[in-house]
Amino acid sequence: MIPSELSTEWKTALSVAWSAYIAVLSVWIVMQRRAPVSTLGWILSLALLPYLGFGIYYFFGPQRLKKTRLKRLRSRAIAHSRDDAALLREAAEHAPEPLRQMAALGRAACGLPVSSATGVRLLSGGARTFDAIFEAVAAARDHVHLEYYIFEPDRIGTRLRDLLVERARAGVTVRLLIDALGSKRVGRRFLAPLLAAGAQVGFFHHSRIGRRLRPVTNYRTHRKIVVCDGVIGFTGGVNITDEEDPRTRPDAYHDVHVRIEGAAVRWLQTTFIEDWAYATGERVRDPDAQLSRYLPAAEPGAIPVQIVTSGPDTPLEAIHRMHVDAIHNATHRAWLTTPYFVPGEPALMALTNAALRGVDVRLLVPRRSDSLIVSAAARSYFDELIAAGVKVWEYKARMLHSKTLVIDDQCAMIGTANFDNRSFRLNFEVMAVVYGPALAGPLAGQFETDLGSAAPVRHGRRQPFWRRLGDAVARLFSPLL
């Protein structure tokens, strides 16, 4: 038996130690200056879940990341961009002032200016996307750079790997950067033929202990980038997986991608090279020769294109800002497609404000996404959106995975970012903004086609109590989704 006096002393000591533990960790979390709701949530978790709460925070909590921009690379790309400055100035003279301001916002938030393209092609569905990528890779003569969140060692992944092996054996430089968590099924046996052919493979943010003092479980590269010879580039929502190929799976995700040709590709290239340097630690040897090779001179095009990037290495949330600003500037149309709809207050206010002032605001989401909690959280916003005049549709046919926004007839956005906090704040994302009708028209047509497989959500629809309760509870987790 422990004497009562000793027991009291132990209780006092434990209370003091526990209070000190909470105080120190609270100061640590508060000093990171994250969103108030997120900060309070983590503090409460640490206080209510001793030891377990610290473990969760250690593995899943926010971390400070520093991802260096390659200044020389960006300077060379900007110098090349001056070649089509006259064309862009001419286009700007005919562009509405809000679009010019939006382009300035994008450059200030992520450092990438408006460039131009000689061609922009919308690719609807995984089959068309894979065919176009395979064609470009097969035609590459100098280099192929690929960055993906999900690269599966399945049928389509094996086909692409084998094509990359063939290109590497032909003397083409092949670099493949994949996310260590999203592509966790890719192993040594799958990569062996690629490495034997001379290709290079990098993994973004290993999540295993031992790779670094604190493993990274958040902050994934969600980017999908392909660059061939520095003049043809791809981005959008399609990952390398049979789940996106209807030729293999009838229930494949419905998704879109974009093929860009011309000067704007240099900014996809810049993004890839910076990510590669960050993930692999590789230093550029003979930078002038490397930059001339990877940033070749490109003929100015007639289509203004801006590549916009965002990630947890900067607090500016460039893609989030661009979405909100674009919706605020819409005059007659704002059509948004996203698989995960969990908006923060600024984004929600932008959508409802636009609808209240008479803009045709439409939201297309999957009836059921591959995350039940995200689907439930999304439903919790429908009533207030519809009450403000937003038209909401649920895509019924398959899992909808497209991430697009059409503003009026003069702006189209397509990229990797979902309309949620995880994409806007936690993941590394990329987006192509095409000014003018070149992509806005085709993307609006795709949106209307997709509505043919969707059902409108009615205001005041009957739902069982358990579903309404579940949706409301899921909404509580919106800052973390």
Contact 99, 304 (CB under 8 A): no
List 205, 222, 320, 328, catalytic entry: 222
Q: What are phi and psi of 143, to 5 degrees?
A: -155, 155
CA angle 111, 112, 117 (to 5 degrees): 175
Smallest Cα–Cα separation from 348: which of 383, 304, 314?
383
- Rounded-to-integer distance, Cα 198 and Cα 330, Å: 49
Q: CB within 8 A of 415, min separation 6: which ones? A: 235, 236, 237, 308, 319, 403, 429, 430, 431, 432
Contact 367, 457 (CB under 8 A): no
**Residue 154 annotated in active site:** no
CB atoms within 10 A of CB 383: 17
Amino acid occupying residue 71: K
Contact 120, 303 (CB under 8 A): yes
**Residue 67 annotated in active site:** no
**Residue 401 annotated in active site:** yes
List 145, 179, 205, 224, catalytic entry: 224
**Residue 143 annotated in active site:** no
**Residue 391 annotated in active site:** no
List 401, 420, 450, 471, catalytic entry: 401
CA distances from 49 to 43, 44, 442, 461 (A): 10, 8, 51, 39
Distance of CA 221 to the CA centre of its chain: 8
Here the contacts of 280-284 (C-beta below 8 Å, separation 24 or greater) are 280/177, 280/200, 280/202, 284/70, 284/73
List 84, 245, 325, 408, catalytic entry: 408
- Quote the longest CA-to-CA distance of the chain: 88
**Residue 459 annotated in active site:** no
Q: What are phi and psi of 122, to 5 degrees?
A: -80, 130
Q: CB within 8 A of 98, min separation 6: which ones? A: 329
Helices vs. strands in the chain: H and E counts, helices first:
18, 18
- Rounded-to-integer distance, Cα 61 and Cα 38, Å: 10
- Rounded-to-integer distance, Cα 309 and Cα 319, Å: 7
Amino acid occupying residue 101: Q
Q: Which residues are catalytic?
A: 222, 224, 229, 401, 403, 408
